[in-house]
Amino acid sequence: MATVDPEDAVAVIAAQRSWLCERQKADPTHPILIKAIEGGMPKGADPALYNWVDHGKVWGKITTPIYTSGTLLNEILIDPDSKNWDDVRDGVRKLHVFCKENDIPHLMGFSGGKGVHFSIIFEKFTAGDTESSKELFAQIEKCDVDLYKTVRRVLLFEIAKRANVDLEKIGMDKKKLNYSALKDGDSNFNLIVF
């Protein structure tokens, strides 16, 4: 991960795009949505910049760093928000070393501000064939359990424990972990505020 000057809008946009594209490779079937500009849309403005849009379809119109993006259902997104940069750097370094030593695929990306995002993207769940998978998820739905949310939480807490990372100390944004596909109604959506 290269260092990016947060004052250099062109470099920030390039880093954000690279981060989105790397994450998108993990699940090309569900586009990561972005909202390029926060707030109400002024009269005559381009709706693609103010609405939730597939990042790949709108990127040519981006002239300022984007504000928010969605996450993948099978993505553990760690967004450390501690004011203490030493705590953030130490925690992310420990996560990176642990994941690397244990062959856990992970990505680190520039958040667009002064921070870093750390993503672990795991395989989607399947029971083998399409029909068996539909049956499996129908049974899980009857239990009112958000399987992906549960797995995200269990994996992150275990990885953090084994890596000796205090998630509270690094200022882990829990909303990016605890969103529920059952409640949100969209199994591929959670906000990442850049």
Residue 194 pLDDT level (bands cut at 50, 70, 90): very low
What is the dihedral sign for C-alpha 14, 17, 19, 22? Answer: negative
- Tell me the angle at which helices 85-101 and 147-163 cross, rounded to the nearest 10 degrees: 100
Q: Is 96 left (phi over 0), alpha (psi -120 to 50) or beta?
A: alpha
pLDDT of 99 higher than 90: yes
Q: How many domains does the chain have?
A: 1
Give the model's pLDDT for residue 135.
Answer: 86
Give the model's pLDDT for residue 157.
Answer: 94
Give the model's pLDDT for residue 29.
Answer: 84
CA-based nearest residue to 194, from 9, 2, 1: 9
Tell whether 74 is covered by a domain: yes
pLDDT of 121 higher than 60: yes
CA-based nearest residue to 69, from 16, 107, 118, 130: 16
The range of the structural domain enclosing residue 78 comes to: 9-193
Tell whether 3 is covered by a domain: no
DSSP per-residue string spanning 1-23: -----TT-HHHHHHHHHHHHHHH
Each residue's pLDDT tens digit, 49-75: 999 999 999 999 999 888 788 888 888
